[in-house]
Amino acid sequence: MEEEMGETPGLGRSAAPKDFHFYHMDLYDSEDRLPIFPEENTWMGREAVQAEMTNEPRGAVKGKTQRDLEEEVDEFVHLYGLEDDHELGDVFIDETMPRIEVSEYPPYVMTGIEPAKEQRDWRLSGEAAKAEDLGFGGWGSAGQCQDLREAYRYAHGLASEEYECYVIPEEEDEEEAADVFCVTCKTPIRTLEKAFDEHKEHEVTPLNKALESAKDEIHKNMFKLEKQIIEMENFASHLEEVFITVEENFGRQEKNFESHYNEILETLAQKYEEKIQALGEKKKEKLEALYGQLVTCGENLDTCKELMETIEEMCHEEKVDFIKDAVAMADRLGKFLKTETDVEISAQPDFEDQTLDFSDVEQLMGSINTIPAPSAPVINPQAPNSATGSSVRVCWSIYSDDTVESYQLSYRPVRDSSPGRDRAEFTMTVKETYCSVTNLVPNTQYEFWVTAQNRAGLSPASECAVYMTAPSPPIIKSKEIRSCEEAALICWESGNLNPVDSYTVELTPAEMPEASGVTESVVGIPTCECLVQLQPRQSYVISVRALNVGGPSARSEPATVHTTGSYFPLNEHTCHPWLTVSEDGLTVVRSARKALTKEPLPSDTRFSRCVAVMGNLIPVRGRHYWEAEVDECLDYTVGVAFDDVPKQEDLGANRLSWCMRHTFASARHKYEFLHNKTTPDIRITVSPRKIGILLDYENSKLSFFNVDISQHLYTFSCQLRQFVHPCFSLEKPGCLKIHNGISMPKHVTFY
């Protein structure tokens, strides 16, 4: 074929090849159709050869071939009943197109049945070769058409005989895939159908979106099904439990009925024996009486017969003998006749009607339809954290065989009452095996006991159990809170008459919302104060809870703590009577009116000679800073001292205090830095109005500063083996203001 193509390179269109085979399209009407014109090159060669043999121009040959082909098509349409040219493989649709141009219509490719395709191609190529050898290849005459029909019938017969298993059902032409979904019709359609079909007015949505929606709906339904399955499984389990409970209840009722009926039968048998025994005794008594009477009657009868016989014998005797015996017989007969004979029956044969008392049996019969009275319940010990300040949760249990309709819970407070004085008792009826008892007193012990009840009666009372309510919330002493940059000392009152087990301090950063909850807790605090480690330069909201066996109390009223500096209150227990501390605890005042009163008596806690007051500094080693604001003309003393400093001496007059004293006289300012009555020779040219005091435990130093001009005044080197406290003294009437809880100035950090 390639050689023929090479010989005719100038040909534009090829004629029909002589080995053309026509197959009925019903047999191969699928996407895997056999090619109608399998060999284009041979076709082109045939056209060239035929043109050379007939010596006709190519155009004439082409026109003649087209006419012959049209006639063949019409004949095949009439012969096989084909509806249109579509069944011939869509080859002859375009009237303007040359009908036999193979290059315009490339052959279909077999994709579905590769082995069958290869077999057909092999057999068809063989048959085509045979037809070519026999000369069945013409297109221009009736003989050629006859040859073509015979070749078709031959090929069709082979396909029907040998390839019957490869017959493929007729299918519609492959349609364009649907890409949208009609919501109204609930079916997938193509976009073109939306514009021109009955779906024009319908609501459509993208197919992917509809698919996702359908999947979501399926997932929801699956979830509902899973939920329903779980519910049904739970219901089935519950039914099984009910079945088991029915069996158990039936067994208990059967045993109960058997017990009751046995008891009734025993009672009836006992009553029967008692009645039969009493009746037998009466029978014996009657028979004995009748028998005695019968014996007496017999004896009398024998006597009568004997007398009669004797009298008859006397009547036959002689007169003399008769007279002799008659006197004696008359006496004997007189005596016998004088004897009264009891002819009435002593015992009647009838028995008295016996009244049977079945009241106890009726009671037993009535109790057959009821269940036995329950046993005494078992009250549980108090569970941890089950109480509040005004309520407790009491729980108890019963035996599995008992049937209970209700419970009666009773309680009373446990108090040390005087003998003979009854404590108030309270009772409440509940249906469950637990109860929350309210309106109780905080941090108080209560005694509880419970009884069970059903139609048969009331059970015995359980043993008593002691429950305790939670404590009342503590009360934080806000004025006594002490703090520094690293810690805070919190003090509070218990708020409870009875002791508690422990306390818990809860910390929350002030800038965090309340919903964030507690960030830190200090638990197990035995006393009413706690030293808490904190972060520098922060603000905290602190609350306290009290705990006992019942649980924790509610939170106390919160208090705010700042760790920006050292904050301390003044200890009013050490305050000289001539001094007055303001409400906020930051101002000390000495009035001239109080100075007229006499001096106080010596005391170990209160200053009596030195008009001073001591502050309560937090017991934390580190650096503490505070300031004292004074008038330039005021005589004052500021410094630190140990807690046990002598209260009858001036500050700085012993080894237990270090201070700075200012004296104003004759318009002159005198400054002394006193410790153990000694002071260095220091002159201060600028009188400070605000004095900064830095206590440094780490370096054992106490420094004084003029805050207004950031001037260092003096530094003590101290041996601070114990904690010291700030001291403030006013030698003349005036006031001194304290600034604490403030940040340390930069110039102070260098000392």
Rounded to an integer, the average pLDDT of 314-340 is: 73
Residue 554 pLDDT exceeds 50: yes
Residues 6+ apart with CB under 8 A from 425: 410, 411, 412
Residue 706 is predicted with a pLDDT of 95
Mean pLDDT, the chain, as a whole number?
A: 77
Residue 14 is predicted with a pLDDT of 43
The span from the CA of 611 to the CA of 594, in Å, is 11
Residue 61 is predicted with a pLDDT of 44
Residue 209 is predicted with a pLDDT of 83
Pick the range with the lowest mean pLDDT from 156-170, 358-372, 689-703: 156-170
Residue 365 is predicted with a pLDDT of 66
Residue 43 pLDDT exceeds 70: no
- Coil, strand or helix at 702: strand
If you ran DSSP here, which 8-state letter would residue 387 be given? B
Bridge partner list, 694: 625, 703
Q: Which helix (H) or strand (E) holds 265?
A: helix 207-315
Residue 143 is predicted with a pLDDT of 54
Residue 144 is predicted with a pLDDT of 53
Residue 115 is predicted with a pLDDT of 40
State which of 61-65, 193-197, 482-486 shows the largest mean pLDDT: 482-486
- Domains of the chain from N-terminus onward: 2-166 (no CATH), 378-468 (2.60.40.10), 475-562 (2.60.40.10), 570-748 (2.60.120.920)
Residue 539 pLDDT exceeds 60: yes
Bridge partner list, 559: 542
Residue 745 is predicted with a pLDDT of 92
Token readout for 43 is: 């076709």
Count of positions (residues) in the chain? 751
Residue 100 is predicted with a pLDDT of 38
State which of 97-101, 236-240, 337-341 shows the largest mean pLDDT: 236-240
Q: How confident is the model at residue 106 (pLDDT cuts 50, 70, 90)?
A: very low
Residue position matching structure tokens 């007059």: 653
Percent of the chain with pLDDT over 70: 69
CB count within 10 Å of CB 521 equals 10
Q: How confident is the model at residue 181 (pLDDT cuts 50, 70, 90)?
A: confident
The span from the CA of 585 to the CA of 480, in Å, is 10
Each residue's pLDDT tens digit, 109-159: 433 434 434 444 444 444 444 444 444 444 444 555 555 556 545 544 444
Residue 557 pLDDT exceeds 60: yes
Choose between 388 and 362: higher pLDDT. Answer: 388
Pick the range with the lowest mean pLDDT from 91-100, 153-162, 606-615, 739-748: 91-100
Q: How confident is the model at residue 1 (pLDDT cuts 50, 70, 90)?
A: very low
Residue 533 is predicted with a pLDDT of 93
Each residue's pLDDT tens digit, 619-646: 999 999 999 999 988 999 999 999 999 9
Residue-wise burial string across 649-668, b where 16 or more C-beta atoms lie within 10 A, e elsewhere: bbbbbbebbbbbbbebeeee
Q: How confident is the model at residue 527 (pLDDT cuts 50, 70, 90)?
A: very high
Pick the range with the lowest mean pLDDT from 451-460, 560-569, 698-707: 451-460
Each residue's pLDDT tens digit, 249-282: 788 778 877 887 888 788 888 888 888 888 888 8
Residue position matching structure tokens 């009609």: 182
Rounded to an integer, the average pLDDT of 705-721 is: 92
Q: How confident is the model at residue 59 (pLDDT cuts 50, 70, 90)?
A: very low
Pick the range with the lowest mean pLDDT from 330-334, 371-375, 539-543, 606-610: 330-334
Rounded to an integer, the average pLDDT of 201-227 is: 85
Count CA atoms closer than 13 A to 464's CA, side-chain side: 10
Long-range contacts of 149-157 (CB under 8 A, 24+ apart): 151/21, 151/22, 151/127, 152/21, 152/22, 152/23, 152/24, 154/127, 155/21, 155/23, 155/124, 155/127, 156/23, 156/24, 156/27
Residue 34 pLDDT exceeds 60: no
Q: How confident is the model at residue 710 (pLDDT cuts 50, 70, 90)?
A: very high
The span from the CA of 504 to the CA of 198, in Å, is 77
Rounded to an integer, the average pLDDT of 347-358 is: 68
Rounded to an integer, the average pLDDT of 406-429 is: 79
Residue 22 is predicted with a pLDDT of 46
Residue 163 is predicted with a pLDDT of 41
Q: How confident is the model at residue 75 (pLDDT cuts 50, 70, 90)?
A: low
Rounded to an integer, the average pLDDT of 59-72 is: 56
Q: How confident is the model at residue 13 (pLDDT cuts 50, 70, 90)?
A: very low
Residue-wise burial string across 16-46, b where 16 or more C-beta atoms lie within 10 A, e elsewhere: bbbbbbbbbbebbbbebbbbbbbbbbbbbbb
Percent of the chain with pLDDT over 90: 37
Residue 15 pLDDT exceeds 70: no
Each residue's pLDDT tens digit, 569-581: 999 999 998 999 9
Residues 6+ apart with CB under 8 A from 142: none
